[in-house]
Amino acid sequence: MEEVKVVLITGGSSGIGAATARLLAAHGMKVYAASRRGTLQTPTPDVIPLSMDVNDSEATRLAVAHILQAEGRLDAVVVNAGIGIYGPIEGTLEEEARNQFETNYFGAIKTIQACLPAFRSQGHGRIITVCSVMSVLQLPFQGFYSSVKAALLSLSQSLSMELKGSGIQCSAILPGDVATGFTGARKFTAASKDPASPYKEQMERNLKKIEHDELGGMSPEVIGRAILKQLQRRHMAVRVIPRLDYKLVGMLVRFLPAKTVLSALSRLYN
Ligand SMILES: NC(=O)c1ccc[n+]([C@@H]2O[C@H](COP(=O)([O-])OP(=O)(O)OC[C@H]3O[C@@H](n4cnc5c(N)ncnc54)[C@H](OP(=O)(O)O)[C@@H]3O)[C@@H](O)[C@H]2O)c1
């Protein structure tokens, strides 16, 4: 098994990406933490900040080229950069929905495609995609976020089959609520701010619950440990839901009828 020595993490300036970068570096890996800000939450030896917008193909390609030039290798990429938009599907502008997909989906594709040639010529590489439990369950007023996370999970699983026999492995991590900058960075659609919205009361209840759950959620280190574990395994798991309670939720969603699941989620989140 090829030891993982050099890792690129997108969205490394905050939250899950920053915690994962620190943890991997503490386990002897050299980590390039990329973000638009290009800064680190806490300066850490062996974590190198990179300025890189995943929406910019050229910047993404150059960042990977820079790592290869400096290190002579790239063993893994953690595809983590993401934002969340909030609002009712009715009235969401096409541009708002496209922005959600631009960063979380097309940004992920740009990152993966920038890394694949190096992984292929090395004969090894690991692609860990940070999805969400919302890849397998949907919540109201986060319809586009749920959709983009489901799309990312599909992408990761299709890719894992395409890459069979290449020495390149894929793993999708599906976190539940994590206390990070994600809540504060959430983008509200114009329709969500409409004082005459027919969804006004539903959204008020919903937002209170999701913000409460996120801010009281698990620490990003829990997700960092799940990622580290995959990087240390000979064969990565195709899909990982960290923490037992969320694993159980994932199993319930899989085996219960969709109608039952949606009615339970609707009671909790509407
Ligand atoms: N928090 C949760 O409850 C939760 C649950 C499940 C999944 N997730 C997923 O976990 C991932 C990380 O989120 P987080 O919770 O750690 O939130 P966060 O603290 O807001 O971190 C998001 C990171 O993404 C970066 N980013 C955003 N847009 C970018 C772009 N265009 N190019 C490059 N970097 C970009 C941000 O840095 P800059 O602003 O400097 O670019 C930041 O480093 C996301 O994909 C999110 O969907 C989060």
Segment 68-115, tens digit of pLDDT: 999 999 999 999 999 999 999 999 999 999 999 999 999 999 999 999
User: Which residues are the active-site residues?
Assistant: 145
Alpha carbons 145 and 8: distance in angstroms, whole number: 24
User: How far is ligand 1, taken at its centre, from the CA of residue 18, in Å?
Assistant: 10
Element (H, E) at 115: helix 107-122
Cα-based angle 125, 56, 100 (whole degrees, multiple of 5)? 90
Over residues 113-134, the pLDDT tens digits come to: 999 999 999 999 999 999 999 9
Over residues 147-164, the pLDDT tens digits come to: 999 999 999 999 999 999
Alpha carbons 40 and 33: distance in angstroms, whole number: 8
Mutate to test the pocket of ligand 1, among 178, 212, 213 (most ligand atoms within 8 A of CB): 178
Three-state secondary-structure class, residue 14:
coil
Alpha carbons 231 and 157: distance in angstroms, whole number: 17
What value does the mean pLDDT take over residues 22-31? 98
Element (H, E) at 32: strand 30-35
User: How far is ligand 1, taken at its centre, from the CA of residue 74, in Å?
Assistant: 22
User: How far is ligand 1, taken at its centre, from the CA of residue 165, in Å?
Assistant: 31
Atom index in ligand 1 nearest the CA of residue 131 equals: 7
What value does the mean pLDDT take over residues 210-229? 98
Q: Which of 269, 270, 227, 239 is nearest to 16 (CA)?
A: 227
**pLDDT number for residue 58:** 97
**pLDDT number for residue 205:** 97
| Residue % of the chain over a pLDDT of 90 | 99
Which CB contacts under 8 angstroms, 24+ apart, belong to 52-57?
A: 52/10, 54/10, 54/81, 54/103, 54/107, 54/108, 54/110, 54/111, 55/102, 55/103, 55/106, 55/107, 55/110, 56/110, 57/110, 57/114
Beta bridge partner(s), residue 258? none
Q: Which of 92, 104, 100 is nearest to 203 (CA)?
A: 92
Which residue's C-alpha comes closest to atom 2 of ligand 1? 178
Residue 2's pLDDT band, with cuts at 50, 70 and 90, is: confident
pTM for this prediction:
0.98
- Hunting for tokens 């806490």 — which residue is that? 42
Which is the CATH superfamily of the domain at 6-269?
NAD(P)-binding Rossmann-like Domain (3.40.50.720)
How far is CA 213 from each of CA 20, 136, 150, rounded to the nearest angstrom?
A: 21, 18, 21
Which residue's C-alpha comes closest to atom 1 of ligand 1? 178
Fill in the DSSP letter of residue 152: H
**pLDDT number for residue 1:** 78
**Does 41 have pLDDT greater than 90?**
no
**pLDDT number for residue 181:** 97
**pLDDT number for residue 250:** 97
User: How far is ligand 1, taken at its centre, from the CA of residue 46, in Å?
Assistant: 21
Alpha carbons 123 and 126: distance in angstroms, whole number: 11
